[in-house]
């Protein structure tokens, strides 16, 4: 079986599991306990914090460990906005549900105005559009660094230049970017990451937010994580996240270049073999491991089934929100017609991909033909 749904989740790397094991067994202590077992856990936690901070170019005290990307995004959107005097949030229509629903929550219960800045046909936000969406009372701009469905990468330095000039915090959902793209020089004030997209377990993640940005906690209690996220810390999870992030960063230049070459060969082969195929997302400014298409006049779900019969596991362009077969909000926001959006298929390669792009494209062509000919 060829697993090409790495944007959904990845397997845990053996090195990550090995690094975590001591904190699940021998050094299982509570980092708040004042004895050797607790202190060993506290040391591991602070080491993990420093390692995450180093990769993202921020301070250890900026790191808030969370239960994953969804919590990090909720904390960023709600926590920064509620701590601010501003009453306006800017985002875009192609964001992950954890961003869009958090902004909706603020609009419904806290009378916050939410502006969705438009994206172009590739899913890019243009700096001038962002600049014109900003107001004097804008509390936060939150955008995805790289899109989970089509892989489009934002020109983050141009966007952060706009927010900096206005002194408005910029949060980037870097859940898909982490491991593939540089995290240290985006110019953002906050970054969300999730361990399970890069070889650490599900349920691990972090929001890293510069100390100067006030943050209202969502979880109240014992005051862990400098009061920004109460609850006994998942020490092994933090160690796993830090290990996976460091490993991915040390391999990033090599793996991104190698996988991007495979991706380009695969995209070219699909476009030449499958007449109905259209690439979605930016032709070049895209994640190294993401190739996403629509196959007009088919059904994305039917193509996925045919692919699986041929041993290839991938996913539809939509985030598969609990069994929904609504067309992807990402593709709709990019101007794709609903009936075409329903034919989307996304292939997301692992960092270690060493597949044959032409053989894979041949399997895609056979799957699309099988669907188009009704069987
Ligand atoms: C861009 C993006 N943001 C946030 C999330 C949510 O992360 P998690 O699954 O860790 O809650 C995902 C995961 O699908 C994602 O792709």
How do residues 224-281 score in pLDDT, each as one tens digit? 999 999 999 999 999 999 999 999 999 999 999 999 999 999 999 999 999 999 999 9
State how far Cα 374 lies from the chain centre: 36
CA–CA distance, 195 with 187 (Å, rounded to integer): 22
- At which of 193, 224, 248 does a domain end? 248
Q: Are residues 200 and 74 in the same domain?
A: yes
Between the CA of 268 and the centroid of ligand 1 the distance, in Å, is: 28
Asked if 352 and 15 count as a contact pair (C-beta separation under 8 A), the reply is no
The verdict on residue 5 lying in a domain is no
Cβ of residue 149 lying under 6 Å from some atom of ligand 1: no
Q: Does residue 341 carry a catalytic annotation?
A: no
Q: Write out pLDDT tens, residues 135-170.
A: 999 999 999 999 999 999 999 999 999 999 999 999
Reported residue count of the chain is 375
**Domain of 294, in residue numbers:** 252-372
- DSSP-assigned letter for residue 34: S
Structure tokens that stand for 49 in this block:
């914090």
The verdict on residue 3 lying in a domain is no
CA–CA distance, 147 with 94 (Å, rounded to integer): 7
- In which band, very low, low, confident or very high, does the pLDDT at 324 lie, cut at 50, 70 and 90? low
Closest CA to 63 of 79, 45, 78: 45
From atom 4 of ligand 1, which residue's Cα is the shortest distance away?
69
Q: Are residues 181 and 323 in the same domain?
A: no
Tokens 């188009």 -> residue: 372
The verdict on residue 227 lying in a domain is yes
| SS3 call for 153 | strand
CA–CA distance, 187 with 310 (Å, rounded to integer): 44
Structure tokens that stand for 43 in this block:
């040391």
Between the CA of 36 and the centroid of ligand 1 the distance, in Å, is: 36
The 3 state secondary structure assigned to 181-227 is CCCCCCCCCEEEEEHHHCCCCCCCEEEEECCCCCCCCCCCCCCCHHH
CATH number of the domain residue 52 falls in: 3.40.640.10
Q: Write out pLDDT tens, residues 38-52.
A: 999 999 999 999 999
Q: Write out pLDDT tens, residues 49-97.
A: 999 999 999 999 999 999 999 999 999 999 999 999 999 999 999 999 9
| The pLDDT value given to residue 318 | 58
Q: Are residues 298 and 361 in the same domain?
A: yes
Please determine, for residue 320, whether its predicted confidence score (pLDDT) is greater than 70.
Answer: no
- At which of 248, 263, 292 does a domain end? 248
- In which band, very low, low, confident or very high, does the pLDDT at 133 lie, cut at 50, 70 and 90? very high
Please determine, for residue 10, whether its predicted confidence score (pLDDT) is greater than 50.
Answer: yes
Cβ of residue 217 lying under 6 Å from some atom of ligand 1: no
Q: Are residues 94 and 138 in the same domain?
A: yes
The verdict on residue 7 lying in a domain is no
Structure tokens that stand for 134 in this block:
């900003």
Neighbours of 160 (CB within 10 A): 22
Please determine, for residue 99, whether its predicted confidence score (pLDDT) is greater than 70.
Answer: yes
State how far Cα 284 lies from the chain centre: 19
The verdict on residue 6 lying in a domain is no
CA–CA distance, 167 with 11 (Å, rounded to integer): 40
Helix axes 357-372, 235-273, angle to 10 degrees: 70
Cβ of residue 10 lying under 6 Å from some atom of ligand 1: no
| The pLDDT value given to residue 328 | 95
Q: Write out pLDDT tens, residues 210-227.
A: 999 999 999 999 999 999
| SS3 call for 4 | coil
Asked if 337 and 297 count as a contact pair (C-beta separation under 8 A), the reply is no
CA–CA distance, 20 with 25 (Å, rounded to integer): 9
The verdict on residue 2 lying in a domain is no
Between the CA of 33 and the centroid of ligand 1 the distance, in Å, is: 32
State how far Cα 138 lies from the chain centre: 24
Beta pairing, strands 170-173 & 138-144: parallel
Cβ of residue 177 lying under 6 Å from some atom of ligand 1: no
**Please, which residues bridge with residue 206 across strands?**
65, 193
Cβ of residue 314 lying under 6 Å from some atom of ligand 1: no
Closest CA to 15 of 349, 313, 352: 352
CA–CA distance, 25 with 23 (Å, rounded to integer): 6
Q: Are residues 24 and 95 in the same domain?
A: yes
| The pLDDT value given to residue 322 | 45
Question: How many C-alpha atoms does 204 have within 13 Å on its Cβ side?
Answer: 29
State how far Cα 346 lies from the chain centre: 15
CA–CA distance, 50 with 60 (Å, rounded to integer): 5
Longest dimension (CA), the chain: 69
Q: Are residues 219 and 337 in the same domain?
A: no
Closest CA to 163 of 193, 129, 192: 129
| SS3 call for 162 | helix
Q: Are residues 321 and 211 in the same domain?
A: no
| The pLDDT value given to residue 317 | 66
Q: Are residues 265 and 333 in the same domain?
A: yes
| The pLDDT value given to residue 326 | 85
Q: Write out pLDDT tens, residues 108-129.
A: 999 999 999 999 999 999 999 9
From atom 9 of ligand 1, which residue's Cα is the shortest distance away?
69
| The pLDDT value given to residue 39 | 96
- At which of 194, 228, 248 does a domain end? 248
Between the CA of 179 and the centroid of ligand 1 the distance, in Å, is: 14
């Amino acid at each position: 079986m060829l697993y090409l749904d790495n944007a959904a989740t990845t397997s845990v790397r053996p090195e990550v599991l090995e690094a975590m094991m001591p904190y699940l067994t021998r050094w299982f202590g509570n980092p708040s306990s004042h004895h050797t077992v607790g202190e060993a856990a506290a040391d591991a936690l602070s080491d993990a914090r420093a390692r995450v901070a180093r990769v993202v170019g921020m301070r250890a005290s900026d790191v808030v460990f969370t239960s994953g990307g969804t919590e990090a995004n909720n904390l960023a959107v709600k926590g920064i906005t509620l701590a601010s005097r501003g009453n306006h949030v800017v985002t875009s229509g192609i964001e992950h549900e954890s961003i869009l629903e958090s902004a909706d929550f603020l609009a419904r219960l806290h009378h916050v105005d939410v502006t969705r800045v438009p994206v172009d046909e590739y899913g890019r936000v243009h700096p001038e559009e962002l600049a014109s969406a900003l107001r004097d009372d804008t509390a936060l701009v939150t955008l995805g660094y790289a899109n989970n469905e089509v892989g489009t990468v934002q020109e983050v330095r141009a966007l952060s230049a706009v927010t900096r000039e206005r002194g408005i915090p910029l949060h980037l959902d870097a859940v898909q970017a982490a491991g593939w793209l540089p995290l240290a020089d985006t110019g953002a004030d906050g970054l969300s990451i999730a361990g399970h997209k890069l070889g650490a377990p599900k349920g691990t993640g972090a929001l890293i937010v510069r100390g100067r940005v006030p943050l209202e906690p969502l979880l109240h209690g014992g005051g862990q994580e400098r009061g920004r996220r109460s609850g006994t810390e998942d020490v092994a999870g933090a160690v796993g996240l830090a290990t996976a992030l460091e490993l991915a960063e040390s391999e990033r230049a090599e793996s991104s270049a190698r996988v991007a070459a495979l991706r380009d060969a695969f995209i070219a082969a699909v476009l030449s073999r499958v007449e109905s195929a259209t690439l979605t997302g930016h032709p070049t400014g895209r994640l190294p491991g993401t190739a996403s298409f629509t196959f007009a006049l088919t059904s994305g779900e039917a193509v996925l089934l045919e692919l699986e019969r041929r041993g290839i596991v991938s996913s539809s362009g939509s985030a598969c929100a609990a069994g929904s077969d609504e067309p992807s909000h990402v593709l709709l926001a990019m101007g794709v017609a609903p009936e075409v959006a329903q034919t989307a298929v996304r292939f997301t390669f692992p960092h270690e991909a060493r597949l044959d792009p032409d053989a894979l494209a041949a399997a895609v062509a056979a799957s699309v033909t099988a669907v188009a000919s009704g069987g």
